[in-house]
Amino acid sequence: INPVSLQLAGCQLTLGDLSADYDKLNLNLMEYGAEKTGSVELLTDLGILPPKQNMLDVRVSQSNLILDQNLVIDRSYLGDDLINRPPKFILMNPPFTPWRDVGIKFNEEIHKKLRKRLSVIWDGIAENEPYLQSKKSTIGLLFELLGLKLAEKSKGVFGMVMPSTIITAENNRASRMLLANQLHLDTIITCHHPNSFNMSWNTNINECLLIFSAFSEQNQNSPTRFINLYRFPSNLEEATGAIAKAFKGEQINGSVELWDYQLVRKGDWTPAVFPEIKMVQKFHEAINNNKHLRTDLFNISGGGGEWLVGRFDT
């Protein structure tokens, strides 16, 4: 039996039932639910983050925040398994729960303590991790960092389903640059079919799939593949067929474009914004040839700088 799969399956089956008696489920008691913050506590393990991180203070602070002082937790089983045999492939849909809503389904005391525990983890790591040197707006960054670190450790593949604003919004440029410099951004998959552009259930937001691989001599300077689908495949066979064709350079119901790694690492992911590369080229031409824009200060292909927009541009 694969202990990690058993653990995840058991937890998934009981997530919606606060009255579940975990002691009778033959599961490893980890920091889940109301008692602890969850898997992001693995970030405090020196086996995942580099040894330069001093996690002693974080661990001490966490022990002082245990909600049930009588609960003895041995988390080494699953944690050691992840650290000693990190997965070669990681896929996640990070939770974008606003910071203020962490643990909101519990009473006010637990609600506050869960947020405080997450703050302890975040602050203990942020000093040496640029990925967390931003405002605590969502807990998603902690999960993303865990995935990035595990993929880096195993020299594996890391996939994330993300809101497409990560691609389109100018205020997310810093996030794009951070992601593209942590691991090699191998592929981005988007869909441009109206009213059918999300990969998660029970949501109407536009979503994309980002696929990373650990840096190597082979991919260090490789371009990123942008796959823009005109409509989503309706079954597994269609999906595998479309992706196989895209990787072979064959015709698909959509477009495929390779984009220079230097542009990707500077936050320019515009091939995922438009379904056709001609539109991407027109976009760049419009930016670079607009007399109201100071292209000496800002060039979207070069990254950085600022736009000075004329009063009639709107």
Angle between helices 56-63 and 108-126 (to 10 degrees): 170
pLDDT of residue 297: 46
Question: Which residue(s) pair with 184 in the sheet?
Answer: 213
Give the single-character DSSP code of 276.
Answer: S
Give φ, ψ of 161 to 5 degrees: -85, 120
Average pLDDT of the residues of the chain: 77
pTM: 0.74
Residue 45 tokens, joined:
């393990």
pLDDT digits (tens, 9 = 90+) for 243-262: 999 999 899 999 999 999 99
Task: Please report which confidence band the pLDDT of residue 16 belongs to, taking 50, 70 and 90 as the band edges.
Answer: low
> d(Cα 58, Cα 129) in Å, to the nearest integer?
15
Band (21; pLDDT cuts 50, 70, 90): low
**130-147 burial, b if ≥16 CB within 10 A, otherwise e?**
ebbeeebebbbbbbbbbb
pLDDT in tens, 249-307: 899 999 999 999 999 999 999 999 988 888 888 888 887 777 665 544 444 455 555 55
Looking at residue 22, its pLDDT comes to 57
DSSP readout, 251-275?
A: --SEEEEEE-HHHHHTT--GGGTSS
Tokens of 97: 């729960």
Distance between first and last Cα of the chain: 61
In angstroms, rounded to a whole number, what is the distance separating the alpha carbons of residues 106 and 303?
44
Backbone angles phi, psi at 154, to 5 degrees: -90, 0
pLDDT single digits (tens) 157-187: 999 999 998 998 888 888 899 899 989 999 9
Cα–Cα distance between 149 and 139 in angstroms, integer? 16
Span of 8-17, 66-75, 95-104, 105-114 with lowest mean pLDDT: 66-75
> Which residue's entry shows tokens 């670079």?
288
pLDDT above 50: residue 111 = yes
The pair phi, psi for residue 80, each rounded to 5°, is -65, -35
- Collapse the DSSP code of 294 into the 3-class scheme (helix H, G, I; strand E, B; otherwise coil) and give the result: coil
